[in-house]
């Protein structure tokens, strides 16, 4: 085997053999294939695709690059959730403790930001003292104590994906359906959860821009999970408008705590509850009431135990950016559009995301919007607030926001469209 032959096969629209897939995934994990060579192969896969058998083999090779976890010692059924990435998508933060408060164990392995989309671990690391990296023993201990854990995949879990995940972020190959599906499912299957709910985003702020592509990705992942004995269901959810009222790290943690306290934006609450019901049903707890667990404070109690168990201080003041810039409404009227992708790029440019895989992120950076599509705004009133520690980034962020919103003086206020678009099981 040699990597040039593997690259050429996929470049020329050929089908990779099982032997080629097994070899190249293993060789890249060992360092025998260089980043630039795997970048070339990833781009060829993005452009030319993979068939169902190739994706299944690629996923199996990613799983086999490391260990598998076992949660059979837990007294609760396990349920996990994964989002394909969006703007303002802080759902994991309130969702994991909410589902745990209803009786399931939630071993939530999460990732960092990819491109214009935020990363759950980056968000939680804005909580003083909180640790993303846990050993398998520590992860089990947090699950026993709190019922939920949100952490990074350990070095032994699908190490091939850990390397490739970071590489895709900086080489323009994030949007490949085979690579998205195998990345997500290799970690989730190796993690050992009994059931999995997928939140597949659709729209300008998602990697899947059309319902057709989103359904293809969802069906691919549901098939991979089912084939490996994991009860898997997918919801297709709207990401044409960013979720909630913030995109950033500490900004989104603050908003998530508001949801756990019984408040927060309606769209974040609605999606959190929809996913919680799916997770509880998949875990064999269909009669549990997540709305009650939000209202009575039990989900907040789990959040506080979970944060403390991972070294964080749930009472600490969250970081804020040193500099702010306000963009005002250009007219009085109804906000008819707010483009999720452009908002995500602006947050990324302000420091909430990475341009290179070794970059750090700013805890306080991001974008806050003061109205959602369908609501009336007043000329000159704040519409967006940009947050960053590095004010020289403001011009690049405002450039990204050109055409991101529309205020129509003649439009009537309207209710938001349903956030859940379809369900695939």
User: Is 303 part of any domain?
Assistant: yes
Evaluated on CA atoms 379, 382, 385, 391, the torsion sign reads: positive
Model pTM greater than 0.85?
Answer: yes
Residue 33: domain span: 3-49
Collect all residues with Cβ–Cβ distance below 8 Å to 391 and sequence separation of at least 6. 323, 325
Active site residue 82: yes
Domain co-membership, 106 together with 41: no
Tokens for 5, please give them: 């032959």
Name 97's Cβ contacts closer than 8 Å, sequence gap at least 6.
106, 146, 147, 148, 260, 299, 300, 302, 303, 306
Q: Give CA–CA dist 222/233, Å, rounded.
A: 6
Q: Among 187, 231, 354, 393, which one carries the catalytic annotation?
A: 187
User: Of 252, 285, 309, which marks where a domain is finished?
Assistant: 309
Phi, psi of 283 (to 5 degrees): -85, 0
> Under DSSP, is residue 375 helix (H, G, I), strand (E, B) or coil?
coil
Spell out the per-residue pLDDT of the chain, length 425, in tens: 899 999 999 999 999 999 999 999 999 999 999 999 999 999 999 999 999 999 999 999 999 999 999 898 899 999 999 998 899 999 999 999 999 999 999 999 888 887 788 899 999 999 999 999 999 899 999 999 999 999 998 878 899 998 998 899 789 898 899 999 999 999 899 989 999 999 999 999 998 999 999 999 999 999 999 988 899 999 999 999 999 999 999 999 999 999 999 999 999 999 999 999 999 999 999 999 999 999 999 999 999 999 999 999 999 999 999 999 999 999 999 999 999 999 999 999 999 988 776 778 999 999 999 999 999 999 999 999 999 999 999 999 999 999 999 999 999 999 999 999 999 99
Same-domain pairing of 172 and 261: yes
How many domains does the chain contain in total? 3
Q: Which DSSP symbol is given to 349?
A: I
Q: Per the residue annotation, which of 57, 116, 162, 168 is the catalytic one?
A: 168
Nearest to 167 by CA among 278, 38, 266: 38
- Residue spans of alpha helices (H) in 12-158: 18-30, 35-48, 52-64, 92-101, 120-124, 136-146
- Closest Cα partner for 186 from 3, 46, 29? 29
Same domain, 112 and 181: yes
Residues 189 and 90 in one domain: yes
* CATH number of residue 383's parent domain: 3.90.1170.30
Stated as kind and residue range, the H or E segment containing 215 is helix 211-227
Please report whether residue 419 resides in a domain: no
Shared domain check, 298 and 391: no
Domain boundary among 254, 286, 309: 309
Specify the pLDDT at position 361.
Answer: 92
For the chain, the first-to-last Cα distance in angstroms comes to 38
The verdict on 22 and 95 lying in the same domain is no
**How far apart are alpha carbons 140 and 146 in whole angstroms?**
10
Q: Max CA-CA distance within the chain? A: 65
pLDDT of residue 49: 96
Q: Are residues 292 and 341 both part of a single domain?
A: no
Residue 415 lies in a domain: no
User: Tokens 């323009």 belong to which residue?
Assistant: 172
271 and 139 together in one domain: yes
Residue 112 falls in the annotated catalytic set: no
Q: Are residues 205 and 352 in the same domain?
A: no
What is the Cα–Cα distance from 190 to 202, expressed in whole angstroms? Answer: 26
298 assigned to active site: no
Can you give the pLDDT at residue 357? Answer: 65
Query: Is residue 299 located within the same domain as residue 352?
Result: no
Domain of 265, CATH number, reads: 3.40.1030.10
pLDDT of residue 35: 96
Q: Is 168 a catalytic residue?
A: yes
The yes-or-no answer on residue 228 being catalytic is no
Are 38 and 131 contained in the same domain? no
Residue 160 and residue 212 in one domain:
yes
Does residue 334 come out as left (phi exceeding 0), alpha (psi in the -120 to 50 range) or beta? beta
406 contacts 335 by C-beta, under 8 angstroms: yes
**Radius of gyration from C-alpha coordinates of the chain:** 21
| Residue 64, in any domain of the structure | no
Whether 265 is in a domain gets the answer yes
The answer to whether the beta carbons of residues 147 and 288 sit under 8 Å apart is no
The per-residue DSSP string of 232-300 comes to EEEEEEE-SS-STTEEESHHHHHHHHHHHTT-S-HHHHHHHHHHHHHHHHHTT-TT--HHHHHHTSHHH
CA dist 292 and 273 (Å) reads 10
Is the distance from CB of 16 to CB of 48 less than 8 angstroms?
no
Instruction: Tell me what pLDDT residue 174 has.
Output: 84
> Of 65, 183, 186, 240, which residue is the catalytic one?
183
138 domain residue, yes or no? yes
Choose the catalytic residue: 81, 82, 354, 393.
82
């Amino acid at each position: 085997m040699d990597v040039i032959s593997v690259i050429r096969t996929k470049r020329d629209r050929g089908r990779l053999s099982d032997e080629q897939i097994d070899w190249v995934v293993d060789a890249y994990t060992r360092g025998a294939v260089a980043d630039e060579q795997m970048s070339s192969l990833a781009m060829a896969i993005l452009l030319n695709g993979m068939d169902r058998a190739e994706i299944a083999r690629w996923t199996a090779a990613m799983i086999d690059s490391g260990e598998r976890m076992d949660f059979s010692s837990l007294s609760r059924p396990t349920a996990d959730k994964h989002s394909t990435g969006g703007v303002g998508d802080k759902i994991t933060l309130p969702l994991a403790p909410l589902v745990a408060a209803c009786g399931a164990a939630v071993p939530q392995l999460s990732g960092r930001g990819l491109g214009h989309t935020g990363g759950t671990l980056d968000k939680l690391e804005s909580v003083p003292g909180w640790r993303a990296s846990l050993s398998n023993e520590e992860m089990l201990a947090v699950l026993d104590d709190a019922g939920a854990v949100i952490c990074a995949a350990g070095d032994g879990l699908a190490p091939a994906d850990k390397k490739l995940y970071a590489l895709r972020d900086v080489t323009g190959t994030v949007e490949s359906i085979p690579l998205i599906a195998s990345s997500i499912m290799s970690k989730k299957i190796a993690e050992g959860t009994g059931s999995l709910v997928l939140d597949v985003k659709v729209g300008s702020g998602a990697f899947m821009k059309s319902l057709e592509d989103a359904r293809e990705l969802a069906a691919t992942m549901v098939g991979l999970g089912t084939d490996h004995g994991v009860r898997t269901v997918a919801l297709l959810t709207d990401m044409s408008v960013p979720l909630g009222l913030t995109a950033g790290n500490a900004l989104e943690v603050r908003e998530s705590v508001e949801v756990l306290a019984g408040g927060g934006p309606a769209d974040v609450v609605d999606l959190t509850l929809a996913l919680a019901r799916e997770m509880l049903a998949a875990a064999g707890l269909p009669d549990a009431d997540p709305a009650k667990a939000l209202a009575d404070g039990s989900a907040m109690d789990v959040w506080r135990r979970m944060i403390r168990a991972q070294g964080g201080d749930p009472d600490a003041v969250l970081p804020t950016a040193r500099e702010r810039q306000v963009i005002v409404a250009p007219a009085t009227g109804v906000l008819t559009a707010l483009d999720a992708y452009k908002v995500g790029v602006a947050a990324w440019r302000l420091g909430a995301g990475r341009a290179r895989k070794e970059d750090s992120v700013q805890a306080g950076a991001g974008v806050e919007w003061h109205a959602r599509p369908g609501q009336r705004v007043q000329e000159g009133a704040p519409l967006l607030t940009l947050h960053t520690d590095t004010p020289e980034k403001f011009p690049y962020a405002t450039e990204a926001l050109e055409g991101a919103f529309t205020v129509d003086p003649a439009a009537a206020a309207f209710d938001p469209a349903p956030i859940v678009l379809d369900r695939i099981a």
